[in-house]
Amino acid sequence: MRTTGTVGSREDKRGAAPAKHLKAAIQKGARYEMAKDPICGMTVDEETAKWKSEYEGETYYFCAERCKQTFDKNPKRFVK
């Protein structure tokens, strides 16, 4: 036995969930600053980056140890 009331309320819940998710994702995205690996151009998450270097007061993030080493050898080459 089907009741239209049950179907209707289920659809309402379904419709609300994605919109809520999207809003949260946008808010999270606005807070997050993604850094760019100056060596290979990859986007690096500052929150989880393992490799970083400071050069002339700026912090640079790298996707791998090799990229950091390349940078450390000659930072001037990669910084404008």
Binding flag, residue 37, Zn ion (CB under 5 A): yes
Give me the sign of the Cα torsion angle 51, 55, 59, 62: negative
Q: How far is the CB of 32 from Zn ion (least distance, A)?
A: 19
Give me the sign of the Cα torsion angle 12, 13, 16, 22: negative
Q: Which of 35, 51, 67, 71 binds Zn ion (CB under 5 A)?
A: 67
Q: Could you give the CA distance from residue 72 to residue 54 in angstroms, rounded to a whole number? A: 9
| Tokens at 7, concatenated | 């179907």
Q: How far is the CB of 31 from Zn ion (least distance, A)?
A: 24
Binding flag, residue 35, Zn ion (CB under 5 A): no
Binding flag, residue 40, Zn ion (CB under 5 A): yes
Which residues contact Zn ion (rule: CB under 5 A)? 37, 39-40, 42, 63, 67
